[in-house]
Chain A
Amino acid sequence: MHIPDGFIDAGTSLGAGMVAAGGIGVAARKTAAALDDRGVPLAGLVAAFVFAVQMLNFPVAAGTSGHLLGGVLAAVLVGPWAGALCIAVVLGVQALFADGGITALGLNVLNMALVGGLGGYALFLALRKLTGGRRTAIPVVAGVAAGLSVVLAAGAFTVEYALGGVGGASVGAVAAAMTSVHALIGIGEGLITAATVATVLAVRPDLVHGARHEAQLDLRPVDVAVGR
């Protein structure tokens, strides 16, 4: 899902970079307002874990693989704003590994941290409401939202390609191919997310932000702002 340099023209990349920078700025302010001492190493761990699992490409079709994006996983574990920052950190480090372009960094942050992460977390909140918010349903809800978030991120790429894509491919063909392959990758994303959330819930339920609504009425602005 990492866009290399050269796929999207400079103007669109710059525009996406400005949107991404604005989004990360908001995320940083919201995170700073809610972060406690315990949250610092936990957020670092979530970023490191997402980096590791993003390396584990799994086959989805002949000659095609997919890997975790981790936006919803991070958001459910440490909250949507800190989660988006975790994904941005991962993408920044990955640039050193020549994974994902440099001028495309804004596009990638926009697609995976903001559209995938925050958009996916909004889906998580909506689905959690539908299931009555039961703790036993949290891993499944997180998994479904995570799977859908991959398709959301693929859609964001398609929009960017429509706005400033090079290479002359038809936008319709790109849209169809991106959606179908990422629906398959989303299944893997959902399974990994559900399994990880279930594991952390079993070991340290208090460390799962997305399950904290049970313990107390959680009215902090971090959740209100994503449309809870």
Chain B
Amino acid sequence: MGANARRFVIAGLFVAAGLALLASPFASRDPDGLERVARDEGILDEAGAHGLAGSPVAGYAVRGVEEERLSTGLSGLVGVLLTFGVGTAAFALLRTARRRRSRERRPA
């Protein structure tokens, strides 16, 4: 990966992290389309507590950070870094698997 592409990834990460940290606290807190329909149609009562409701970032709030906007923003930052890490690791695994396969196919 060339220096330019690396710069693009770093700049893109800053944009994503900035949006998550600074813009997400000001996003609409109204229910999204599906949740609204579920509420209107009486389906929402069927949802129990989330299995990971005890997660330290459940509900896009960092446990222990009381200030609502800060908590939302920090959870977004955690999510962006985590998604980048998990995503890059997953794609790197696919890349490695491909290299291994192409080595095996080559006749000795």
Give the CA-CA distance A86 to B92 in the complex, in Å: 13
In B52-108, which residues have CB < 8 Å from any A CB?
A: 52-53, 55, 57-60, 72, 75-76, 79-88, 90-92, 94-95, 97-98, 101
Answer yes or no: A167 CB below 8 A from chain B CBs: yes
Give the CA-CA distance A56 to B37 in the complex, in Å: 20
Give the residues in chain B near A93, CB-CB below 8 Å.
79, 82-83, 86
Q: Contact residue range for chain A?
A: 35 or more
Residues of A within 8 A of B (CB): 1-7, 28, 31-33, 35-53, 55-60, 63-67, 82, 85-86, 89-90, 92-99, 101-102, 154, 157, 161, 165-170, 173-174, 177-178, 181-182, 184-185, 203-204, 207
Task: Flag if A57 contacts B16 (CB, 8 Å).
Answer: no
Return 23 A-B CB contacts under 8 Å, by A number: A1-B34, A6-B47, A7-B46, A28-B94, A32-B94, A35-B91, A39-B95, A40-B88, A40-B91, A51-B83, A55-B27, A60-B33, A65-B28, A86-B87, A93-B86, A96-B55, A97-B55, A97-B58, A98-B58, A102-B51, A174-B41, A203-B8, A207-B5
Give the residues in chain B near A35, CB-CB below 8 Å.
91, 94-95, 98
Give the residues in chain B near A97, CB-CB below 8 Å.
52, 55, 57-60, 75, 79
Give the residues in chain A near B60, CB-CB below 8 Å.
55, 97, 99
Known: A4-B47, A49-B15, A64-B36. 19 other contacts (CB 8 A): A7-B38, A33-B98, A38-B5, A41-B1, A41-B9, A45-B12, A47-B83, A48-B13, A48-B84, A51-B80, A53-B16, A58-B28, A64-B32, A98-B59, A102-B51, A161-B43, A167-B43, A173-B41, A177-B40
Task: Flag if A169 contacts B41 (CB, 8 Å).
Answer: yes
Partner of B87, one of A43, A96, A178, A181: A43
Task: Flag if A98 contacts B52 (CB, 8 Å).
Answer: yes
Task: Flag if A89 contacts B90 (CB, 8 Å).
Answer: yes
Give the residues in chain B near A31, CB-CB below 8 Å.
91, 94
Give the CA-CA distance A43 to B60 in the complex, in Å: 23
Task: Flag if B28 contacts A37 (CB, 8 Å).
Answer: no
* Residue picked from B9, B19, B32, B101, most chain A C-beta under 10 Å: B32
Give the residues in chain A near B94, CB-CB below 8 Å.
28, 31-32, 35
Give the residues in chain B near A52, CB-CB below 8 Å.
15-17, 19-20, 24, 76, 79-80
